[in-house]
Amino acid sequence: MKVFKFGGASVKDTAGVKNVLKVLQKHNNPDKLIVISAMGKTTNALEVIIQKYLAEQSPEAEIEHLRLFHVEIMNGLFEHKKAAVFEKINQFFTILRNFLEHNKSKQYDFVYDQIIGFGELISTTIVSEFLSRNGIRNTWIDVRDVIKTDSTYRDAKVDWETTQKKIIAAINPGTISITQGFIGSDSNNFTTSLGREGSDYTAGIFAYCLNAESVTIWKDVPGVLNADPREFKTTTLLQQISYEEAIELAFYGASVIHPKTLQPLQRKEIPLFVKSFFHPENEGTKVCRGNGCAVIPQLPCFIVKKNQALISLSSRDFSFMVEENISEVFQLFHQYQMKVDLIQNSAISFSVCVDNKFNQLEKLIQHLKAKFRVEYQTGVSLYTIRHFNESAINSVEKGKKVLLKQLTHNTVQMVTAG
């Protein structure tokens, strides 16, 4: 059993879906589990629908625009406009509208998860039908029936024991199964999500539960690069990296591999390949385990996270920032769902760079001000360089105002303004 994962960029339009067919025809072993993300920017569009709905504004125009976006893709894939797939997609939009009409909860995270998964449900239905009509028999599986989680909406934790039993029961070896990334369901069968970009994690979950031979993530880049090509002019393909190095890169914010994806794969030593869906014949990047899995080639790796917040705390009476104070601060970070990306402390001050992805920074700051002197700055960027050298550091610092800098043996991190 091999696990393939296709991201939103790989199915963003008609040509993308047709390319998925070509990739699968080149890898014609039928023993596959295929995970597919929402098409293109569908998740972003659904987030706008959520925002308008919770602001008590009608999202009907956005819903219809999203429906027509998918209809246009289907028009390029299916000759007969009365094919069953058109009705199936219309039914998903009917279910979405019914939820918005009858839902009583205004709790953001719950509403988010009930709506956001429609992108994956729709994309997998379209791809499954298209593959079936072009000679690739497959079974469509609703991932919410097999990946069971707790009820931490927008960042659900997997119930591994239940999930493994359900996955093994649902997947038939020697066949192709197609399912959704990013989502699952809780014990009440409400939809949950595994965190943004969680489709890679879904592939890892299936691979672990099925003892897969390998996982391949098909991307719009050649593989794992030493820097994001959207942020850096010159990048180099990493032909091979270890699980440990990949986890480090993911922890610091590298966007090619989701941070949680690697953990289940490492436990069973399942190799991960990151390849280009434009050039499926190329080797891409292999992520593996062992002494022979050092970074190849060995060179600095750059990661940038924008729109972060830098918070500096000090005690009001200039007493030491000791364990008791720091423990209290971290409890608040947990309470307000802040991901801490950098920590630096001295005798009387404590600075952190955090990711405010749940938009609770202002509440946190007000809580901190009750006990500490607080200074903070939003909109900062956090640069991380793995395996740095002086030239790499200078290239990042040039023309920037460095607010905070921290070096360890293999890694340097810098917070810059703007």
The pLDDT tens digits for 193-245 are: 998 668 999 999 999 999 999 999 999 889 999 999 889 999 999 999 998 88
In this predicted model, which residue has the larger pLDDT, 202 or 80? 202
Of all residues in the chain, what percent carry a pLDDT higher than 90?
83
List the strands of the sheet with 32-36, edge to edge.
Answer: 139-140, 176-180, 32-36, 2-6, 214-219, 272-276, 285-288, 240-242
- Average pLDDT, integer, range 5-30: 95
Residue 351 DSSP code: E
pLDDT, tens only, 41-57: 999 999 999 999 999 99
The CATH classification number of 301-416 equals 3.30.2130.10
* Burial classification of residue 167, based on how many CB atoms lie within 10 Å of its CB (0-12 exposed, 13-18 middle, 19 or more buried): buried
Identical fold, 2-220 and 301-416: no
Q: How far apart are the first and last CA of the chain?
A: 46
Angle between helices 118-133 and 84-102 (to 10 degrees): 170
Mean pLDDT of 95-112: 97
* Cα–Cα distances in angstroms (integers) from residue 24 to residues 221, 310, 317, 342, in the given order: 18, 46, 65, 42
Who wins on pLDDT, 33 or 325?
33
Distance in angstroms (rounded) separating the CA atoms of residues 282 and 274? 10
Q: Which residues are annotated as a binding site for ATP?
A: 5-8, 230
CATH 3.40.1160.10 fits 2-220, yes or no: yes
User: 136, exposed or middle or buried, with CB in 10 Å at 0-12, 13-18, 19+?
Assistant: buried
Known binding-site residues equal 5-8, 43, 120, 230
297: cis peptide before it, omega within 30°? yes
Report the range out of 150-164, 288-302, 349-363 with the highest average pLDDT: 150-164
Alpha-carbon gap, residue 183 to 192, rounded angstroms: 6
Tens of pLDDT along 133-146? Answer: 999 999 999 999 99
Q: Where are the alpha helices (DSSP H) in 82-147?
A: 84-102, 108-116, 118-133
- Mean pLDDT (whole number) for 143-166: 98
Residue 272 pairs with which residues in a beta bridge?
215, 287
Binding site residues for substrate, as ranges? 43, 120
DSSP 50-78: HHHHHTT---HHHHHHHHHHHHHHHHTT-
Q: Looking at this protein, which amino acid is placed at residue 47?
A: E
Q: At 291, is the pLDDT very low, low, confident or very high (cuts 50, 70, 90)?
A: low
Backbone angles phi, psi at 199, to 5 degrees: -65, -35
Q: What is the mean pLDDT of residues 62-73?
A: 98
Sign of CA dihedral 20, 287, 305, 301: negative
Dump pLDDT digits (tens) for 328-346.
899 999 999 999 999 998 8
Per domain, the residue ranges of the chain are 2-220, 301-416
d(CA 39, CA 17): 9
pLDDT at site 247: 85
Place of tokens 């955090």: 354
Q: How far apart are CA 7 and CA 278, in angstroms?
A: 13
Name the more confident of 12 and 318.
12
Average pLDDT of every residue of the chain: 94
